Structure 1
Amino acid sequence: MKTTKKHLRYAEWLSAEEMHTASKEWLSELNFVKDEHLFFEDLVTRFTSQLIASDKFSNSYEIVDAINRSEKFNNNLIEAVKIHENELQIMVDGVDQKEEEKAYTKEHQDLIIGIKEFLKEYKSLKMQLFEIIKNIKKEDKLNHLLDRK
């Protein structure tokens, strides 16, 4: 499957206030993801023995590795958004700096695309992790019921 690169032209018309609001929303969402990563680490720690004992150990290992990579990428995005937010001054300083303003708008477009793609991949990762944990819980429950008999 071949993907095509989409060009976001509407970002050129966003006001500085709209870009500031978008940056604040991104930071909020990315910080929430950061908290969820902590929850995932706790979840993986809690089910480590079942993940290792599982016949799908390689799949579990890949998910844990993907969580770690996702966490690092999320931290990089948080830093990028903070830097982007701090550079907003270029747009509101009243000085006509066409090239710098154009570069800032381009960076904003790149962040829109990057964050959207990250969140899409993150949602998929989250669903995979929950599916693995759900299967472990089902197996535990089944084993517990079988042991009672």
Structure 2
Amino acid sequence: MNTGWPNFVVLAIMLTGCSFQAERPAPVDTLSSKNHGPRYHKGSLKNDKYKVRKGDTLYSIAWGAGRNFVEVARLNRLSPPYTIYPGQSLNLAATNNSQIAAIRAPQPYVNSIQTQAITKPYISASDSSKLKTIKSSAAPKPGPAV
């Protein structure tokens, strides 16, 4: 008896299932559609304040202002993950000198530790008799095994 025909039927069913086409293919967005690309061109936001709109990100707003997003977050006291909300007003430029971190010029290093020369760097053999010796009673005594 030939047992190859059940394998052939299973293979034919599998191939038929793989060749099935959906009536409606999945939608495809291309990179050329209007929804993609930067919302703002670099440096296009010239105002010192910006009101957040739906779909804005801190990165896109900072890009439009020509600033680093971390700097804009610092100006607005935002911490990671830098969440912003529609209607929120963001400062894009420091309004006074107190908001700008001052960078101090490097100062020369001044050693304030006083050093002295070592007059007696070692103990001679004749001075070693002045050292205290350890008495044998201070040595550890054997105890019960743990």
User: Scaled by the length of structure 1, what TM-score is found?
Assistant: 0.22
Larger radius of gyration: 2
Question: As a proportion of its length, which structure holds more helix?
Answer: 1
Structure number with the bigger relative contact order (C-alpha 8 A, sep ≥ 6) is 1
Question: As a proportion of its length, which structure holds more strand?
Answer: 2
User: Scaled by the length of structure 2, what TM-score is found?
Assistant: 0.22
